Amino acid sequence: MTQIRPSKVYLPKFDNAPATILEYLLARFSQVNETIWRDRVSRGKITLSDGRVMEEHTPYVHGITVFYRREVLSEPEPVEEPQIIYRDEDILVADKPHGMPVTPSGEHVERSVLIRLQRMTSLPDLDPVHRLDRETAGLVLFSIKPGVRGRYHRLFAEGQVEREYFAMARVGRPLNAVHWRLENRIERGEPWYRQRIVEGAVNAITEIELIGAQSGMGRFRLLPKTGKKHQLRVHMASIGCPILGDPFYPVVSERRDGDPPLQLLAKRLAFIDPLTGKEQDFISARSLG
């Protein structure tokens, strides 16, 4: 059995919140079999920040933190390993495969990028500086020393990192443009795990370029200027070109055996190193399709 330090999940506020905490956990971690969550509940292994032990019918209340310990029996080896493309005294850049979460999630504990890298490097304080969806492949920046993470995270928060993505999408109709600059507001949608475009102050900006199309399939270059959750997936769907393999946009669909992974790749990261002043420019060795 693989067992790691307790994990926590903050319960956010929703307009139409789930009835129970268990309902939220089942949807939030849909990749984990329902029987695993119910077993944890029955054994009193899930606790709340207000001191209670969670039960099956404990109502959902936003603002509470849920604590649980992931236990994975005989977790299989990952199909593919992340690759280290750069490392110095302060940072490490990894090239992650599709379908591998950056940090332990659900039944992916040993199969997370963080745990794999800790095993490979014996660096216990590795910490991801930014987010990348489990289904997205490509570059992830990690800090090696706890004291430097904030300096690198600030680069992302202040838009000082050049990020370049590539995506494959179906092009079912002639497009009236080959370049888009989308500036709008993205907020939580329905169901709660999806995002949507709403009226209001701009918080999401993406430049999109169609760089090739053949047989109804388009290859796109995406340059996000902000980092909202699912931003690229929402923006691609909004121009009528949802990313191939996306189960959430434009509509929720059940993933079936044989479906391709989300065809989205974090291809490039570039920034001025805040500690050394050096120009850093990293390219993923991965490709789509």
In a domain? residue 78: no
Both 192 and 108 in a single domain?
Answer: no
Identify whether residues 172 and 261 lie together within a single domain: yes
Does some domain include residue 144?
Answer: yes
**Mean pLDDT, 10 residues at a time, over the chain (289 residues)?**
64 91 91 85 90 94 87 67 96 95 72 87 91 94 94 94 96 85 95 92 97 91 95 96 94 81 97 96 94
Closest by CA position to 82, among listed 125, 132, 29: 132
Is 77 within the bounds of a domain? no
What pLDDT shows up at residue 36? Answer: 85
Q: Are 261 and 98 in contact (CB under 8 A)?
A: yes
pLDDT given for residue 259 in this prediction: 80
Q: Please tell me whether residues 58 and 184 are part of one structural domain.
A: no
Domain count across the chain: 3
Asked whether residue 135 is domain-assigned, the answer is: yes
By C-alpha distance, which of 131, 56, 241 is closest to 142? 131
Residues contacting 158, CB < 8 A, separation 6+: none
Do 59 and 133 reside in the same domain of the chain? no
Find tokens 């699912």 and name the residue.
230
Cis amide leading into 191 (omega within 30): yes
Range of the domain at 272: 83-160+267-283
What was the pLDDT predicted at 1? 39
In a domain, 217, yes or no: yes
Considering the domain architecture, whether residues 271 and 128 belong to the same structural domain is answered as yes
Strand ranges inside the chain, DSSP E: 2-3, 7-10, 47-48, 65-68, 71-72, 83-87, 91-96, 127-128, 137-143, 162-170, 179-188, 195-198, 204-214, 217-224, 264-272, 279-283
CB distance 79 to 72 below 8 Å: no
The reply to whether 93 falls in a domain is: yes
61 and 91 inside one domain: no
- In whole angstroms, give the CA distance from residue 151 to residue 178: 36
Residue 3 confidence (pLDDT)? 42
Note whether residue 46 is domain-resident: yes
Residue 265's DSSP bridge partners are: 137, 166
Residue 182 falls inside a structural domain? yes
Amino acid 253: pLDDT: 87
- Last-in-domain residue among 47, 72, 97: 72
Local structure of residue 76 (DSSP, 8 states): P
